Amino acid sequence: MPRPNRSTGTPGRAPLSRGPREAKNISGTQVGGARNIASKGANALNWPWSGPNGADFWPRVAGRADLVRPARAGWRWLIKHSGPQQRVCLFFARPPVNPSSPSSLPPGFSWVSFITMQLKTPIPAMPAMPAMPALSGVCLPRQVRRVVPLFLAVFCLVFYLSLTGTFAEFHGGLARQSKCRLFPRKIWQSWKVNPFEFEERDLNVARSWTSTNPGYRYEVLTDQNDLHYVETNFGPDGLNRPDIVETYRSLTAQIIKADLLRYLVMYVDGGVYADIDVEALRPLERFIPERFNEADMDLVIGVEIDEPDFNDHAILGPKSQSFCQWTFISKPRQPVMMRLVNRILEWLHDHSVKQGKPISDLELDFDDIISGTGPSAFTEAVLAEMSARTGQEVTWKTFHDIPESKLVGGILVLTVEAFAAGQGHSDSGNHNARSALVKHHYHASGWPNRHPRFKHPLYGEVEQCNWNKQCVAEWDANTAAFAALSPEEQEQQIAMKQAADAAEAEMSVEDLAGDDGDLGLAIE
C-alpha cells in the first residue's frame, strides 16, 4: 500500500524507471516518495517554456508539443513553478483509474508523486505582457483611440531611425537648413594660379575682397585644384554625378570650365562668387539693402545689360537683356544652380552630336559661349526659377530700368549700377555712385580671342558700337548693302579693305619707329 505523501497527504510512490542524467541547471531534494531527481529525466525539459508564476505547463521536447513521458507507458509529469524562490515541483501523473482527478491535471489523470527542485540558475521565462488595469466603466474618447496607433507608429519610427543613424543625419540636415537662413560667409574666385603667384594687378584686386570683408573666408580655385574639387563633391563620395565629373574633365575651353565651375561651387557651398578681375568697392554687408531681410532670399544678382530695344537684333538680341554673373551671391543647394548645370551638360552634348566631335574638340564662337554657359544662359535659368516660385511668368520687363533693387521669388535683383557700373550703356552710371558695389576691370577677359565674335569682313563687330543705336543702325545698313552685292563685287570690296588695312598697319609701325628714334635722341 503506498505511503501517504507527507506534504500533500495524497498517495504516492517513486517512479519505477530511471531516466537520463540530471540537467546541469537544477539540483533536487527528496520530497514525497521520490529518491533522486536524477531518475526523473529533468534534462529533457526545455526550460524557456516555463510560464508565469504558479502556472501549469507541459514541457516540450525537440520543438514538439508532445508531453515528456516517463518510461512507464501512459504516465505523464507536470511542473509547477513556485515563483520568486526559483523552485519547481515535478509531479508524476498516471492514467485515470476513476473519473475524479485534481483540476490541475489533464482530464482523467491523478497525482502519484512529486519532486521539489531548487534551480541553480533562474528559469528563463518568456516575457509576459504586463497585466492591464481594470477599465470597467472607462471608455476612451474616439479621438484618443484613433491617435494611439499613430503615436505608436511615430515612436517606432523614431526608435528605428535612432538605431540606424538616419535620425542623426536628418537632424544634421535640419541644422544645415537653419544655418542657410544666412548666406555663407565665404568668397570664391577662380584663376590660373594660386594667390601666392598672383601678378600685382590681380593681387591688388583680390585684396579688395579680403580687406573690406575681414570676417569672410577666402578661397581661390585654380587650374591645378579645380578638378579635385569637382571630383570630391560630385564623385561617388559626394553627390555621385559621374556625368558632371566626366564632362568637366573633358573640357578644354577654359571659359566654359570657368562658367561651369562657378555654378558647381555655388550649388555645393554657396557664398559670394567674383571673377578675378572684379574689385570690391563696398563691404558685402552693403550688398543687401536694409529694407530687405537676408533670410527671405536665396540669391543676390544684378543687372548687366538692359537694352530691350535690341531684342530683335540678329546678333545683339540674345544678349540685350541679361543678369550679371561675374559677381553674385547664393545660398547652397539652390535648384536653379543645378538646373543650370544640367542645361549646360545637355547643351554640350547637343553640340557634340551636331559637330560629330567629342566635347574636348568642340569649336564654339563668342555667341555660342554667351548663350550656352554665360550671362544669357544664367539669365534664362533665373527667370525660369522666378516664374516657378511665383506661379506666374516673369519676363525681363519686370527688371527693365528698375530704379531700385527688387525681390522676386526669393531672388534679389540689384540695379545695373550695383555690379555693372561704367559700361557706357544700359544707364549704368559710374563707379563713383553710392550704389556701385564692384568694378569690373576686364583684364582677365581675353577668352573672346579664342572664341571670336562675328566679324564682318568690311565693317567689323557690331559690339564695337557698344549698344549705340545710331552706330548699330549704320552697321546694319552697311552689312545689308554688302549682302546685296554680287559675289565678285563682294570679293573686290574685301580686297580693297584688306589693302587699306595693310597700309594703315605699315604706317603705324613707321610712326612707332619714329617715336622710338626721337626718344633715343632726346635721351642722348
- 291, pLDDT greater than 90: yes
pLDDT score recorded for residue 475: 98
288-309: average pLDDT: 98
**DSSP secondary structure, 390-401, as one string:** HTS---GGGGTT
Same domain, 412 and 475: no
Residue at 3 is within a domain: no
> Is residue 138 very low, low, confident or very high in pLDDT (cuts 50, 70, 90)?
low
Residue at 4 is within a domain: no
Same domain, 214 and 341: yes
Residue where a domain terminates, one of 104, 119, 134: 119
Same domain, 488 and 363: no
> Do 281 and 437 meet the contact criterion of CB atoms below 8 Å apart?
yes
> Is residue 310 very low, low, confident or very high in pLDDT (cuts 50, 70, 90)?
very high
pLDDT score recorded for residue 132: 52
Same domain, 235 and 293: yes
Same domain, 496 and 435: no
Residue at 125 is within a domain: no
- The neighbour count for residue 134, using CB atoms within 10 Å, is 7
Residue at 143 is within a domain: no
* All cell numbers assigned to 169: 543625419
Same domain, 477 and 383: no
β-strand 76-81 against 110-119: which pairing, if any? unpaired
Same domain, 509 and 475: yes
Where is pLDDT greater, at 6 or 374?
A: 374
pLDDT score recorded for residue 154: 78
Residue at 255 is within a domain: yes
Same domain, 209 and 168: no
Same domain, 164 and 244: no
pLDDT score recorded for residue 272: 99
> Is residue 505 very low, low, confident or very high in pLDDT (cuts 50, 70, 90)?
confident
pLDDT score recorded for residue 506: 85
Same domain, 243 and 375: yes
% the chain with pLDDT above 90: 60
Same domain, 322 and 376: yes
> Is residue 387 very low, low, confident or very high in pLDDT (cuts 50, 70, 90)?
very high
3-state SS, residue 55: coil
398-419: average pLDDT: 98
Q: Among 294, 327, 320, which Cα is nearest to 411's?
A: 294
**DSSP secondary structure, 304-373, as one string:** EEE-GGGTT-TTTGGGSEEEEEEEEEE-TT-HHHHHHHHHHHHHHHHHHHHHTS-GGG----HHHHHHHT
> Is residue 320 very low, low, confident or very high in pLDDT (cuts 50, 70, 90)?
very high
Where is pLDDT greater, at 382 or 503?
A: 382
* All cell numbers assigned to 10: 495524497
pLDDT score recorded for residue 425: 98
Where is pLDDT greater, at 496 or 13?
A: 496
Residue at 1 is within a domain: no
> Is residue 280 very low, low, confident or very high in pLDDT (cuts 50, 70, 90)?
very high
What CATH number has the domain bearing residue 235?
A: 3.90.550
Side-chain half-sphere of 135: how many Cα atoms within 13 Å?
Answer: 5
List the domain range (segments joined by +) for residue 474.
469-523
428-443: average pLDDT: 96
41-48: average pLDDT: 39
pLDDT score recorded for residue 192: 95
**Mean pLDDT comparison of 23-27, 112-116, 160-164, highest-scoring range:** 160-164
Q: Among 105, 104, 108, which Cα is nearest to 95's?
A: 108
Same domain, 84 and 200: no
- Least confident segment among 143-157, 206-220, 324-338: 143-157
Instruction: Please give the tally of structural domains in the chain.
Output: 4
Residue at 229 is within a domain: yes
Residue at 144 is within a domain: no
